[in-house]
Chains A and B, each alone.
Chain A
Amino acid sequence: MKVLWLGAALLLAVTGCARDGEQPDVAAAAATAATADRAVAAAALADAIAANPALADSILSSAGYTPDGFQKLMYEIAADSAMSASYTAARRR
């Protein structure tokens, strides 16, 4: 019986360790998804402006950007290989 309890405790400890080990991966995946979402959202914004350039100002402001802010975002996305790949894929869809 003692051996059984010891085994159960060991199993719990191992499972707990494995879950602790998984947490950074989950956080990293969430961060990756967030940056990809941001790039895809920026691509949608760029598509909207390209389709209606006369409404560029209102499209930008409704998304919470100034022209300067949007241009800074373009630099930020371009410098990041994963974000720029997501942006490019989204714009070509």
Chain B
Amino acid sequence: MRYIVPSLLMVLSFDWSIPLRPQLPEWVQQILTAAQLPMVATEARREGVASDQVRAALEAMRTAGVPPSEATLLMDSARAARREHGPVDNFGAFVQSQLAAGKRGQELAAAIRAEHARQGKGNAAREGKTQPPGARGAPDRKPDNRGQRRPPNG
């Protein structure tokens, strides 16, 4: 009896360390992530990305054979970069050019982040450059997503 209780506790603690939900197959995970793509695209539009740019980026990814689950992650990464550095011109064309150069996945996400860091129109304000609001190239101090709910990232 002295050994039964500790053994039982050991077995129970082992059982608790096993996830309660079985691991989902990879393709189901991909479906669940892909199902977020329209929501991420909607949020990108709400945050101010032009609808034609969103469409161009998605069309480029679809044509290049990027799975929609990966497109979801890329669009979400682009949204984060835009929030951090500001918008860039011709987002769709940039994505298309990077895909044409053979970039995919993490490499493409890094290229998008780098482009926003380099060309983002909100960088001047953060660097403390003194430009009067409304001057050419000066960032618009009003966020373009005021009063809008931020979506869940995922």
Contact = CB atoms under 8 A, between A and B. Distances in A.
B71 A75 contact: yes
B39 A87 contact: yes
B32 A83 contact: no
B28 A75 contact: no
Interface residues of B, number: 28
Interface string B37-48: 111111101000
B35 A46 contact: yes
A49 B39 contact: no
A79 B34 contact: no
Contacts, number: 80
Given A71-B67, A71-B68, A74-B68, A56 B28 contact: yes
Interface string B68-104: 1101000000000000000000000000000000000
Interface stretch (B55-63, B110-118, B130-138, B139-147): B55-63
Q: Specify the main secondary structure of chain B where it touches its partner.
A: helix
A39 to B, nearest CB: 7
Given A54-B22, A71-B68, A39 B38 contact: yes
B153 interface: no
Contact of B35 (A39, A50, A85): A50
B68 A53 contact: no
Given A84-B38, A84-B42, A50 B32 contact: yes
A78 interface: yes
Leading 9 A-B pairs by shortest Cβ distance:
A46-B35, A84-B38, A78-B41, A87-B38, A88-B42, A78-B38, A77-B38, A78-B37, A74-B34
Interface of B: 22, 24, 27-28, 30-32, 34-35, 37-43, 45, 51, 54-55, 58-59, 61-62, 67-69, 71
